[in-house]
């Protein structure tokens, strides 16, 4: 298994501090958030991790200098999450067909469990080609997320995925399971991303490529992992992540 951590985003929701400190490098305990995420990838069995960075985020490179399992690639223009993941494709030129690519969002820290290991377990038991991480959200918030349309009822949190519906209205939402920052994807995702046009917000969306994979017959399961995703991309989310880390909520 190989891992990609996109960390090249602009971080506008966390300005002005992100003008000098990447949000991915904000501390949780004595370690940057990103190191907790790298550690999660290792725990799940990733033998190599590519971190996608951008100009001005060299602090990340400096911090991880010397780690033999980490490489870096630049995303020159911030064209979206799908585009960021695609930048890792050339470094994974040696990947075998059927190999799995673990994608962990650089600003999503999971507390209370190893989400990526749960995705790997879901893949193994289901025999599917890829597994996507979900969390349940209050119904009134579904319009902020990519929402699962299920083909089977969840069993132990794992279900067959039929489609993803991007930011549905409450009345149109097929479930309350929201995409949650962890994806264990078939390596063919790079081919799908290469042909992916701009979608929501004019950005190349990973969700759009995954939808095309599902339509093309790439068997996909959803996995509602047991930990809690903390979005450290804004000050309130970061505060909640610290509270969760120190066991105060």
* Residue 5 phi, psi dihedral angles, 5° rounding: -120, 105
Structural contact between residues 230 and 110, judged by C-beta atoms closer than 8 angstroms: yes
Of these, 3, 4, 8, 70, which contacts ligand UTP (CB under 6 A)?
Answer: 8
Q: How far is CA 46 from CA 54, 94, 158, 191, 248, in A?
A: 23, 15, 22, 21, 31
The residue sitting closest to ligand UTP, measured at its beta carbon, is: 9
> Closest CB to ligand UTP among 13 and 151?
13
Give the three-class secondary structure for 60: helix
Binding test (CB under 6 A) with ligand UTP, winner from 36, 40, 100, 106: 106
CA angle (200 as vertex; 194, 204 as ends), nearest 5: 20
68, 56 Cβ separation under 8 angstroms: no
Among positions 2, 3, 4, 9, the unique one binding ligand UTP when judged by CB under 6 A: 9
Q: Which stretch binds ligand UTP (CB under 6 A): 65-73, 75-83, 194-202, 207-215?
A: 75-83
Verify binding: residue 60, ligand UTP, rule CB under 6 A: no
Q: Determine how β-strand 220-224 pairs with β-strand 2-6.
A: unpaired
Residue 61 as a binder of ligand UTP (CB under 6 A): the answer is no
Contact letters for ligand UTP, residues 26-55 (x by CB under 6 A): --------------------------x---
Instruction: Read off the tokens for 130.
Output: 């890829």
- 167 sits near ligand UTP (criterion: CB under 6 A): no
Residues near ligand UTP, by CB under 6 A: 6-13, 24, 52, 75, 78-81, 83-84, 105-107, 233
């Amino acid at each position: 298994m190989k891992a990609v951590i996109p960390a090249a985003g602009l971080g506008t929701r966390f300005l002005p501090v992100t003008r000098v400190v990447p949000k991915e490098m904000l501390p949780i305990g004595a370690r940057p958030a990103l190191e907790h995420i790298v550690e999660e990838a290792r725990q799940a069995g990733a033998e190599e991790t590519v971190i996608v960075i951008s100009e001005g985020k060299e602090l990340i490179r400096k911090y991880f200098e010397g780690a033999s399992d980490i490489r870096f690639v630049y995303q020159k223009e911030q064209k979206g999450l799908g585009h960021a993941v695609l930048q890792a494709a050339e470094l994974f030129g040696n990947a075998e067909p059927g190999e799995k690519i673990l994608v962990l969002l650089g600003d999503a820290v999971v507390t209370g469990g190893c989400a990526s290991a749960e995705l790997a377990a879901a893949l193994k038991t289901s025999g599917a080609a890829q597994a996507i991480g979900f969390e349940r959200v209050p119904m009134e918030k579904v319009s902020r997320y990519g929402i699962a349309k299920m083909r089977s009822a969840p069993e132990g949190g794992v279900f067959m995925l039929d489609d993803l519906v991007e930011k549905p209205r409450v009345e149109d939402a097929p479930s309350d399971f929201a995409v949650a920052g962890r994806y264990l994807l078939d390596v063919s995702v790079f081919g799908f991303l290469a042909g992916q046009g701009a979608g929501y917000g004019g950005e190349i969306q990973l969700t759009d490529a995954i939808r095309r994979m599902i339509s093309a017959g790439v068997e996909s399961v959803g996995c509602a992992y047991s930990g809690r995703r903390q979005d450290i991309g804004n000050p309130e989310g970061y505060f909640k992540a610290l509270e969760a880390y120190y066991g105060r909520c």
